[in-house]
Amino acid sequence: MNRRHLLALLAAAPLTLPRRGHAAYQEPTGPQPELPKEKLVIVTHDGVHHDFDVEMAMTDEQQMTGLMFREHIPPDGGMLFDWGAPRHSEMWMKNTVSSLDMLFIGAHGTVRHIAEHTVPQSLAVIDGGMARATLELAAGTAERLDIRVGDKVLARLFGTAP
């Protein structure tokens, strides 16, 4: 069974799903409470620093819920998904009502891939390739700030806290 078939089955599954290392995963029916925030800076190719205050999704449950059901993403906000180590990063927009820009970031804080203007509610897999972390921002942020592959992300997670 390929990954897309598995995701389709999970989407149609009952609300309580078994999770590795957890007794059960309760599918969210609303937004999760705001998560702890940290400062993050994106340094674009032209040397401009862009400051963000992002929520930190650290646990499996926080990451599985992400920005689902959030109707507004602040222009200087977002959510950083800490994968713990570089891994193949795939995302989707299930129950996400706001379009997002997703930045897939390597182990040393370099933007490796950008998915812009993701489609709300879509179950399509967004393949970011190998990433240490994924940053979700309001749709249009990458274009507005001219963020490109190769730009640097300064954050505690990468040992480069702003």
Global pTM value: 0.84
Is domain 31-158 given the CATH code 3.50.50.60 in the classification? no
Tens of pLDDT, residue by residue over 75-128, are: 999 999 999 999 999 999 999 999 999 999 999 999 999 999 999 999 999 999
Instruction: Judge contact between 148 and 45, C-beta under 8 A.
Output: yes
Instruction: Judge contact between 40 and 82, C-beta under 8 A.
Output: no
d(CA 137, CA 50): 12
Question: Given this model, what pLDDT does residue 24 score?
Answer: 58
Question: Given this model, what pLDDT does residue 28 score?
Answer: 84
Tens of pLDDT, residue by residue over 6-33, are: 444 344 333 333 333 444 567 888 999 9
Question: Given this model, what pLDDT does residue 25 score?
Answer: 61
Contacts of 142 (CB under 8 A, 6+ apart): 101, 103, 114, 116, 148
